Chains A and B, each alone.
Chain A
Amino acid sequence: MDNTRTTSKIQELTYELKIKDVMIKNIKTVNSEMSICSLGDFLKKNRITGVPVVNEDELVGLISIEDFINCIKNQDKDAIINDKMTTNIETLYEDEPLVHAITKFDKSGFGRFPIISRKNKKLVGIITKSDIIRGILKKLETAYHDEEERRYRASHIFNDIVADEVFFKFQYDVEAKNFDKAGEAATGLKKTLYRLGLSPEIVRRAAISTYEAEINIVSYTDGGKITAYLEPHQIRIVITDIGPGIPDVEKAMKPGFSNAPGWIRELGFGAGMGLPNIKKFTDKMTLRSTVAKGTRLVIIIKLSDYRNGD
């Protein structure tokens, strides 16, 4: 599936890119009177394998390293370019889409095409297969950078917002006694915070403490909700429930203390570690509870590195 997407993206680029975007503009040319021996030196010096032949601004042919090798093989050292160059050359216009060049390469078997201007038919560049590859890769790289930039912006989202007070609110409803759904708020929040580009450590701490609070709502109350506020400097998570309340908050905070009935303990909950865990993973927690009414827990995780990026 990914493969077809990449293919179509490249195909798209071959239509989007013009020949002039990828061709070599700063081209070397030779005169048809040049000797084949000098051509060898010329190609070597410029590290190219072929060159357009131009006489007084007019493109008259193409000569390649292959022609040079044939001359040497035939011991035809005194020849000049004019005797050996290809004159039935095919050219492309600079404003044609790249796909035309690709098709032409496929059909002709030539290694390079001179590119001419549509206006005055003058030589403006040259294109080889490797120029096409380089051009496409460069374009793909730009697209990739744009995507990276978008991700960066997500993690620096507050920098772009102008307001006196700003926060993002994510709210999750938690059902009572439904252990099959328990954990969905925490995993939902985790995915959301990751997407916004927060550091993995912060996300983990937020998700774990939310999970513990969520399990408490599921286990002991008649339901509740979890509301996370992402603020420029902190994540504030407010957990409220309709429930029996906690008679002795201090006792509930002690590791190992639990009111959990047997069936909950059998599921692996009720270890008496929920609230202590929340405390461990957060920077601040405030627990307020009224018996027979409910409990409100506020936890805060500081984002020392968020607003200004790294």
Chain B
Amino acid sequence: MVNLKDIVQKLDLKVVSGDIDREVSGGYSSDLLSDVIANAQKDNIWITLQTHINIVAVANLQELAGIILVNGRQPEEITLKKAEQENIPLLLTELSTFEIVGKLYELGIHGNKG
């Protein structure tokens, strides 16, 4: 388990919502919500380029540790509001999915199968 606070610090992520003092069990990357529902696990960090409000619902249902939005994408206003309300960490990075996943791996965040 790695603390989300450390990840945020080391990868220079911008926190726009949620409490980041929580443990991360692993990671999952996908832009298809149903795929995330099927394959992500509790306390995973989720890497996606989707920014609309339903990412918060998915994170909430799967009890994910947080969502990293890639490529400098900004969450929609309503997404941000909902994320604050549900205490889901939304984290922003300029990096692409490929790059941020690589860095997460280096920090010891692995997938659910490996």
Contact = CB atoms under 8 A, between A and B. Distances in A.
Contacts of B52: 179, 267-268
Given A179-B52, A179-B53, A180-B53, A204 B34 contact: no
A212 interface: yes
B54 A182 contact: yes
A187 B58 CA distance: 10
B61 A268 contact: no
A123 interface: no
Interface of B: 31-35, 37-38, 42, 48, 50, 52-58, 60-63, 78, 86
Interface in A237-285: 267-269, 271-274, 276-277, 280
> Considering residues B35, B38, B42, B58, which has the most beta carbons from chain A within 10 angstroms of its beta carbon?
B38
B37 A212 contact: yes
> Considering residues B34, B38, B42, B55, which has the most beta carbons from chain A within 10 angstroms of its beta carbon?
B34
Main SS at interface, chain B: helix
Nearest to B78: A180
A268 B37 contact: no
A277 B62 CA distance: 13
A268 B55 CA distance: 9
Interface of A: 179-180, 182-184, 186-187, 190, 204, 207-208, 211-212, 215, 267-269, 271-274, 276-277, 280
A201 to B, nearest CB: 10
A192 to B, nearest CB: 14
Given A211-B37, A273-B38, A277-B38, A267 B61 contact: no
A187 B57 contact: yes
Given A267-B54, A268-B50, A274 B34 contact: yes
A180 B34 CA distance: 17
